[in-house]
């Protein structure tokens, strides 16, 4: 398990199967879901034991469609039993985070660690996956500290902002209001006077 310090405050969150969290960013709602799945296959002869863990965390973008950055930290470890067999461990973690209306980033980091060990006989194998997700913070200073402490090995991705249906509806309403205001102007009355 790993615990990271964000702005001098340490907060850890453990997720074994499913975790959901909702937060309010500048008056906008954003949901974050973290699902972790583990599959384990054992050979009765103790030859091979594989474990796969995929963890996905997504945070919705706000209504204004600000940019969302992605940070991911994955740790893989392999252990061999006394018989010399190999136990493979694969872990993929994906995370997205959105910015609020004020332009302040809410940082959410996901670190996934998986370890596998076999006993002396190679019959049984245990697989554990733990995730520690620090709570997002809305302060700019905390985010600057977080960026400074973030290792360069972590991948940062930027996605094209997507407009939500609510945003499209609001833009249509604005267009309708603008068209009504223009209709009341001289551009709309002039054609009527010509027709009369």
Determine the Cα–Cα distance for residues 108 and 90; give it in Å rounded to an integer: 22
Once rounded to an integer, what is the mean pLDDT over residues 68-96?
45
Which distant-in-sequence residues (6+ apart) come within 8 Å of 119 by Cβ? 81, 125
Give residue-wise pLDDT tens across range 36-67: 444 444 444 444 444 444 444 444 444 444 54
Once rounded to an integer, what is the mean pLDDT over residues 68-84?
45
Contact 53, 36 (CB under 8 A): yes
From residue 146, give the alpha-carbon distance in Å to each of 68, 69, 140, 183. 16, 13, 10, 52
Give residue-wise pLDDT tens across range 6-24: 444 444 444 333 344 444 4
% residues pLDDT > 70 (the chain): 0
pLDDT band per the 50, 70, 90 thresholds, residue 74: very low
Supply the pLDDT for residue 41: 43
Give residue-wise pLDDT tens across range 127-175: 444 444 445 455 455 455 555 555 554 555 555 566 666 666 666 666 6
């Amino acid at each position: 398990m790993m615990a990271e310090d964000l702005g001098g405050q340490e907060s850890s969150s453990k997720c074994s199967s499913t975790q959901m969290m909702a937060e309010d960013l500048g008056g906008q709602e954003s949901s974050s879901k973290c699902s972790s799945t583990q599959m384990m296959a054992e050979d009765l002869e103790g030859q091979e034991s594989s474990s796969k863990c995929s963890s996905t965390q997504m945070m919705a973008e706000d209504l204004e469609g600000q940019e969302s950055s992605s940070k991911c930290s994955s740790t893989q470890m392999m252990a061999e039993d006394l018989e010399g067999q190999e136990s493979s461990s694969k872990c993929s973690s994906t995370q997205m985070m959105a910015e609020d209306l004020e332009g302040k980033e809410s940082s959410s980091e996901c670190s996934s660690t998986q370890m596998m060990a076999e006993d002396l006989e190679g019959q049984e194998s245990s697989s554990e996956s733990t995730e520690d997700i620090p709570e997002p913070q809305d302060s700019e200073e905390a985010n600057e500290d977080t960026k400074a402490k973030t290792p360069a090995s972590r991948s940062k991705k930027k996605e094209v902002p997507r407009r939500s249906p609510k945003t499209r509806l609001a833009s249509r309403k604005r267009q309708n209001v603008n068209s009504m205001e223009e209709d009341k102007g001289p551009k709309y009355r002039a054609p009527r006077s010509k027709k009369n």
